[in-house]
A and B are shown apart, each in its own frame.
Chain A
Amino acid sequence: MENIVHARIDYRLIHGQVITKWLKVSNASKIIIIDDALKKDPFLGMVYTMAAPEGIEVKIVSVDEAQKQWSQNRFFSGKVLLLFKTVDTALESVRKGLNLVSLQVGGLENKPGRKLVHNQITLDQADFEKLMEIEDKDIDVYFQTVPEEEPANLEKVKRKLF
């Protein structure tokens, strides 16, 4: 899965920061969104597919579909920017065998009871523990919204959470 040039959790999926910054910095040629709900919503899926710049292919797959592909090691052809909407989906994917070098947390939906821990990104204890589990699999988890900003690791955001 060395074709994954960038992996990010962002509740906005394809949006301003991703298309203007990360697509260019990562030099990705393809965006893969792993999300069960979006896979079942062809209309919203089409909205995100059309949001990508010309020449950038967008694929939307469920966790299970993605797992079948990566177990056969053929899914991630091209330079892939991988997007998850939630920490839950990222964790489920990792539990099912997705192998990542690093995972960027770029945006999590703000809900009551969550704390601002890094730039505009909020976190709660449940999401923190799930991210810890991901990091325990030797995946470098870091918080960063745009390339110009200093990334923060889990240890650092933990201090703002508790």
Chain B
Amino acid sequence: MSEINILVMTHGNAGKALVESGAMIIGDSKNIFSLALEVGMSADKLVESAKGILEQVRGKTLILTDLYGGTPSNVAMMLSNFYDVHCISGVNLPMLIETIMARDSNSDMSLYQLAECTCKTGKESCRIFGFKQGEDA
């Protein structure tokens, strides 16, 4: 199994909940972490928490964040200068699940290849659907 770690970092507890929701569908997975930016928390504090995880795992890590330009993604941007990480914004459940499954079934996948796979899934996961079609629905 590839040793890529996954860290989900969001405003509030969405990341933690997303990891739990993912486990509901594909079961528990290894090397998945989540961090919440809580109300009133500074970027520095989130940096420290994330560093704690990255120092502990000491491996390649894919960081998934929610809103590009928000504090969690700004923190991920900072960390990308010092650690072996790639970052992707716009995290949703399909992205998280696909990332875990792709990682766990392709041990020779590079971090960047995994990031591309995650990004592609995110784009494809968003669709308008329902029996009604178009504007005149």
B43–A51 contact, CB under 8 A?
no
**Residues of chain A lying within 8 A (CB to CB) of residue B39:** 120
| Pairwise interchain contact B11-A16, C-beta atoms closer than 8 A | yes
Q: Check B42 against A109 for contact (C-beta < 8 Å).
A: yes
Name the residue of chain A whose CB is nearest to the CB of B82.
A43
Shortest A136–chain B CB gap in Å is 29
- A14/B42 contact (C-beta < 8 A), A43-B81, A48-B74 known: no
Per-residue interface assignment for chain B, residues 40 to 78, with 1 indicating a CB less than 8 Å from any chain A CB and 0 otherwise? 101100000000000000000000000111110110011
How far is A74 from B129 in the complex, measured between Cα atoms in Å? 51
When distances are taken between beta carbons in the complex, the residues of chain B under 8 Å from A47 are 74, 77-78
B69 x A19 contact (CB < 8 A):
yes
Given A16-B11, A20-B67, the answer on whether A51 and B40 have CB atoms closer than 8 Å is: no
Interface size on A, residues (CB 8 A): 19
Bound Cα distance from A120 to B78, whole angstroms: 25
Q: Is the CB of B67 within 8 A of A16?
A: yes
From A15, A43, A120, give the contact of B69 (CB < 8 A).
A15
B residues bordering A, Cβ < 8 Å?
A: 11, 39-40, 42-43, 67-71, 73-74, 77-78, 81
Q: Which residues of chain A have a CB within 8 Å of any CB of chain B?
A: 11-12, 14-16, 19-20, 43-44, 47-48, 50-53, 109-110, 120, 122
